[in-house]
Structure 1
Amino acid sequence: MTDWLMEALALGGVPVLMLVTFLSCLAMPVPSSLLMLGGGALAASGDLSLWSVALGAYGGAVTGDQVGYQIGHSGSEWLRRRAGSGRRGAIAMARAEAMLEARAGLAVFLSRWLLSPLGPYVNFAAGAARLDRLRFTLWDLAGEAVWVSLYVGLGYAFGSRIEMIAEISQNAVGLLAALAVMVVAALWMRRALKRAHAAGDRDAVTSPSP
């Protein structure tokens, strides 16, 4: 599939890149990061314009994020049933919800680039949780700018070594994502324990004396 998409990128150019980044933000299994590297490499060789590659990838990603948010906003119950039908989707959705509860704006921003595997699920969870859309959009715009600049820039600078750069970036993102999930889970548990402790104190104060 990856080879076919790379060939489609070389033939179809920016519209193919827009479509792939759009689909990736809806949890479709497409190699968006690799194609952005490829787009950067094609820009370096003069086959495509660097600005058109960057803007195309950015536009597709931001549009996909907005559609994902709307799916979560309009169909939260259906989305939960669908996510719950598969173990991987259910785990990703639970992690996304925990991240949003801990730090909503930061969760949106980091899941655009540093924790990109969780990005689509953060979109769904943000919509389902009715996170303020303007707040979501501002953090989303900032995060996608980092994501697109990083991968298109790497492709432009190291076009002859795309496979090596792609492997390194995937390994690094996987490691950082695992570490970030552990930190978020710890913060979420800490907050839950504080709430439980506060609720226990309130019960002790309001309970009648013997």
Structure 2
Amino acid sequence: MLLDILGQLDPYLVAAVLAAVLTLDNTLLTGLVVPADASIILAGTALSGPGEIALVAAAGTLGCLLGASGGWLLGRRYGMRVRRSRAGRWVGEHRWARAERIATGAGGGPALAAAHFLPVVNSLTPILAGALGMPYRYFIRWALAGGAAWVTVYLTLGSLAGGFMRENAHLTVPLAACAALLAVGLAVISRRTRAARAAGGSAPSGAAGAAPEAGISAPGGSPEPESASRPPR
């Protein structure tokens, strides 16, 4: 069983692999292929106590620090060329726009920290922060705080889920099926929501072909007095 194999891994090995994954996530955008959230939760299933969670969380936070710094430097060096590149277009403009709102929005530092909990967007925010000229000290302070919280929370959830599944192995298949259905449902809802927004944004503001108000103008273009329709006395 996969959980049994993960449970036998050395926590130091798990810590090293997770640090590498999170470093590449913000620098080379590997999270677009292998979501970092899933990687953290999977790492958590290999852990069995607060001590192991603390060790791997420290390594994961270091990975977030290195990755966020690399992403910021990438954006600082190449600016919006990353966004307009082939890989950037593959990401999707709607994701770039969402990350840009976080990097420039009124939410400030707390929004930067919370961006770690947004899949894909968390990989784009450091690049945009660098491209938009956000000071490194300001950016990295909040990125580090958000990364530490993100890694710790997801490792803890993964550890709890792994322990539960080991004790209730007979529920593995039903729970996996429910999780898959939930993921598919959320993906469909998200896609339909984006499509509805796109259709709404392109719709005309007024109803086409609306009839002109009566009595405003005559067919020739000059105003038609109301008395014109009255019979002569």
* Shared fold (TM-score, shorter chain, > 0.5): yes
> CA–CA distance in 2 between the matches of 1:14 and 1:84?
29
Asked if the contact 2:72–2:130 (Cα under 8 Å) also holds between the matched residues in 1, the reply is yes
Residue 98 (structure 2) pairs with residue 95 (structure 1) = yes
Distance 1:84 1:91, change over 3 A: farther
Which structure has the larger Rg?
2
SS at match of 1:44: coil
* Alignment correspondent of 2:36: 32
What do residues 91-138 of structure 1 show as CA deviations (whole Å, max 9, x unaligned)? 32222112222223233111112x232011111110000111111111
> CA–CA distance in 2 between the matches of 1:85 and 1:37?
26
Residue 18 (structure 2) pairs with residue 17 (structure 1) = yes
Residue 70 (structure 2) pairs with residue 81 (structure 1) = no
Shift of 1:143: 0.7
- Identity of aligned pairs, percent? 23
Asked if the contact 1:58–1:148 (Cα under 8 Å) also holds between the matched residues in 2, the reply is yes
* Alignment correspondent of 2:111: 107
Asked if the contact 2:83–2:89 (Cα under 8 Å) also holds between the matched residues in 1, the reply is no
Residue 71 (structure 2) pairs with residue 68 (structure 1) = yes
Structure 1 vs Structure 2 CA RMSD = 3.5
User: Mapping of 1:53-202 within 5 angstroms?
Assistant: 53-82=56-85, 86-103=89-106, 104-113=108-117, 115-159=118-162, 160-161=164-165, 167=179
Asked if the contact 2:113–2:146 (Cα under 8 Å) also holds between the matched residues in 1, the reply is yes
Shift of 1:34: 2.5
Shift of 1:83: 6.0
For structure 2, list consecutive stretches of 5 or more residues without a partner in the other structure.
167-171, 195-233
Letter matched to residue 14 of structure 1 = A
SS at match of 2:95: helix
- Normalising by the residue count of structure 1, what TM-score does the alignment of the two structures yield? 0.65
SS at match of 1:58: helix
Shift of 1:10: 3.8
Distance 1:33 1:107, change over 3 A: same
Q: 1:51 aligns with which of 51, 54, 69?
A: 54
* Alignment correspondent of 2:201: none
> CA–CA distance in 2 between the matches of 1:75 and 1:128?
7
For structure 1, list consecutive stretches of 5 or more residues without a partner in the other structure.
183-210
Letter matched to residue 131 of structure 2 = A
Asked if the contact 1:111–1:117 (Cα under 8 Å) also holds between the matched residues in 2, the reply is no
* Alignment correspondent of 1:199: none
SS at match of 1:116: coil
Letter matched to residue 67 of structure 1 = G
SS at match of 2:92: helix
- Normalising by the residue count of structure 2, what TM-score does the alignment of the two structures yield? 0.60
Asked if the contact 2:22–2:36 (Cα under 8 Å) also holds between the matched residues in 1, the reply is yes
Distance 1:80 1:117, change over 3 A: closer
Letter matched to residue 128 of structure 2 = A
